[in-house]
Amino acid sequence: MKQVFVTGGSGFVGQNLIPMLIEKGYQVKALARSAEAIEKVERLGATAIKGDLSDKEAITDGVKECISVFHLAASVDFFASEQALKKLHVEATERLVSAAKDANVRKFIYLGAASVIMNGKPIRNADETFVSDNIIDGYSRTKLQAEKLVLRSNTKTFQTASLRPPLIWGKGDPNTLAGIIEAVQKGRMRFIDGGNHRFVTCHVKNVCHALYLAEQSEQSGGKAYFLTDGETPIFKDFITKYVATQGVSVPDKSVSLSTAKRAATVMEFVWKVFGFKGHPPLYKGLVNTLGLEFITTDKRAKQELGYKTLVTIEQGLAFMKN
C-alpha cells in the first residue's frame, strides 16, 4: 500500500485531505505538534508523527518509506510580518524538501496560495504567467519564496508541484467564516465599495481533489497551478450567503476603497507603534485580499491535471447547513 506524509493534517485542508487519501487506498502519516492535533489526525485514520516542522527527527521519521509528501502547514495571516512567517513558510519548507529528497520521496506537493500574484490592483483572468510587481503582505511574500524553493527542487526522480487556491471555504472553515462573523458581532463589518466586485473561491473538497490529482500526475513536475470553483461570484453575494449558513446576517454597510486604504494604513501604524496584540480591525493585507476584483483561471490545472470541480458553490453552501 502506498504511504504518504502530510503536514498540517490537523488543519482545515488536512482534515479533509486525510480521509480522501485513505479512501483512495493510501496509508497516511501526519505531523502533529500537540495532543489535540494527534487526536484529530488519528481520529481521521492517519498515523500521527509527534513534532513540528522545526523538529528534524520528526520530519525524518515522517518522510521515511513514503512515496509522496503533501506540505499543507502554513499560517494564513495577512498581518504578520515577513520575518515572523519566514521560519514557517520558507525555512521549514526547505528543511522538509531536503528530508524528502534524502528519503527518496517521489512527489512533493505544496499547498501554495493565489495571493502570491496580488498587487493592490484589480486582477482579471490571470494565469500562471502573471507575476506581481507589488506584493504587500508578508504571508504572500513568504508563500511565494517557499513555492519557488519547491519548484526549483524538481527533478526527474523528485517531482514537485504547487497548487494555488484563492479563498478556501467550506464546512469547518476557521479563518474567513469565523473572522467575518466576529466582525459582524463587533459591528465592524463593512463591504469595500459595496462589495460588488467579482472574485474566485475554491471549496476545500475541490482543493483536496486537486492535491490528489497533482500527486497522480506525471505532467505536474516543477509547475504551479491556480485552482477555482469555476465560478466568479459577486463578493457581497457570496459572503452574505456564506455567513447566512450559520444564521448570521451581514449588515448592508459599505466604505469606499480609498477610505478603507487610509484607515488600514493608520490602524497598522498604531498597532505596530504601540505593540497591540492581535490584528487591527482593518489592515492593508485585508483590503488587498477582500476589497478588489480577483479572478484567476484554472485552465492549466484542467488541461494537465484533469482537474474539475467536485463541489459547486451552490452545493457547498447547502452542505454548510447540514
| Residue 216 pLDDT grade (very low, low, confident, very high; cuts 50, 70, 90) | very high
Contacts of 217 (CB under 8 A, 6+ apart): 161, 304, 305, 306
Task: Answer whether residue 303 shows pLDDT above 90.
Answer: yes
| Residue 178 pLDDT grade (very low, low, confident, very high; cuts 50, 70, 90) | confident
Q: Note the pLDDT of residue 177.
A: 87
| Residue 157 pLDDT grade (very low, low, confident, very high; cuts 50, 70, 90) | very high
In 3D, which of 101, 97, 99 has the Cα closest to residue 110? 97
Q: Distance of alpha carbon 19 from its chain centroid, rounded?
A: 18
- Quick one: fold of 3-166+203-227? Rossmann fold (3.40.50)
Marked catalytic residue, from 139, 212, 242, 307 = 139
Q: Would you call 152 helix, strand, or coil by DSSP?
A: helix
Active-site annotation holds for 139:
yes
Which amino acid is present at 39? E
Between 285 and 144, where is the model more confident?
144
Q: Residue 214 and residue 225: Cα distance in Å, rounded?
A: 9
Specify the range with the lowest mean pLDDT, choosing from 45-59, 182-196, 221-235.
182-196
| Residue 300 pLDDT grade (very low, low, confident, very high; cuts 50, 70, 90) | very high
10 Å CB burial of residue 155 (0-12, 13-18, 19+) is exposed
Convert the pLDDT of each residue in 57-97 to its tens digit: 999 999 999 999 999 999 999 999 899 899 999 999 999 99
Convert the pLDDT of each residue in 232-263 to its tens digit: 999 999 999 999 999 999 998 999 999 989 99
Convert the pLDDT of each residue in 1-20 to its tens digit: 799 999 999 999 999 999 99
Q: Note the pLDDT of residue 217.
A: 93
Residue reference for cell 492549466: 300
Q: Note the pLDDT of residue 176.
A: 87
In our burial notation (b when 16+ CB lie closer than 10 A, e otherwise), range 214-249 reads: bbebeebbebbbbbbbbebbebbebbbebbebeeee
10 Å CB burial of residue 169 (0-12, 13-18, 19+) is buried
Q: Note the pLDDT of residue 3.
A: 97
Contacts of 222 (CB under 8 A, 6+ apart): 151, 152, 154, 159, 160, 161
Write down the mean pLDDT value for the chain: 94
User: Can you give the pTM of this predicted structure?
Assistant: 0.95
Q: Note the pLDDT of residue 175.
A: 86
Convert the pLDDT of each residue in 116-137 to its tens digit: 999 999 999 999 999 999 999 9
Could you write out the three-class secondary structure of 18-81? HHHHHHCCCEEEEEECCHHHHHHHHHCCCEEEECCCCCHHHHHHHHCCCCEEEECCCCCCCCCC
